[in-house]
A = this chain, B = another copy of it.
Amino acid sequence: MAATQPTVSTESVALNYDFEASIGYWIVLTSQAFQKALTDELQPHGLTYRQSQVLGWLVIDGELSQVELANRMMIEPATLVGVLDRMERDSLIRRCSSTDDRRRKVICLTPQSSGVWEKVVQCAKRIRQQATQGLSDRQLAALIKSLRIVLNNLRHYQSSQVESG
């Protein structure tokens, strides 16, 4: 938590906790800034962070079922339902019933979405460029490496498992 005053030093045994020394504090805060940045940049184009992520995965992987999409986005299928409802309402995606498995619904892009996707990429690149100012390539590589270690350490907490390459 960002301090307006120095946190109390190591005295009270269990009642105090030095947040700023904790890596989780900084990661969560930085993540919040990233999501806020993307949300702000996307807003003029009428879509949200999660909606842009849906488009991204469909661009990469082509058509996907809801379960497949939810796995890639690391959210619960039930959560995705609402996101897709709103995107379908706005004609950003279509739910197409699969013929060979009638439980399945395949999510497809629409004519609208390709134009929108270009905007998303522009936003993402702009933010990435800004976020990495003052960091060398070596620092950046080290940062990602450390984050992968932390992520792996917390692996068994993660809900939807996708084997990351």
Contact = CB atoms under 8 A, between A and B. Distances in A.
Interface stretch (A85-93, A96-104, A142-150): A142-150
B151 A3 contact: no
A57 B5 CA distance: 11
A78 interface: no
B146 A142 contact: yes
Given A15-B59, A30-B147, A31-B30, A162 B2 contact: yes
A127 B157 CA distance: 10
Range of interface residues on chain A? 35 or more
Can you tell how many copies of this chain the complex includes? 2
B117 A36 contact: no
Contacts of A147: 26-27, 29-30, 143
B157 A40 contact: yes
Contacts of A19: 56
A164 interface: yes
Nearest to A161: B2
B28 A35 contact: yes
Contact of A164 (B3, B40, B144, B153): B3
A149 B142 CA distance: 14
23 contacts: A2-B74, A3-B165, A4-B61, A5-B61, A8-B60, A14-B118, A15-B59, A22-B124, A24-B124, A24-B127, A26-B151, A27-B147, A28-B31, A29-B151, A30-B154, A33-B150, A36-B159, A131-B153, A133-B149, A135-B149, A139-B142, A142-B142, A142-B146
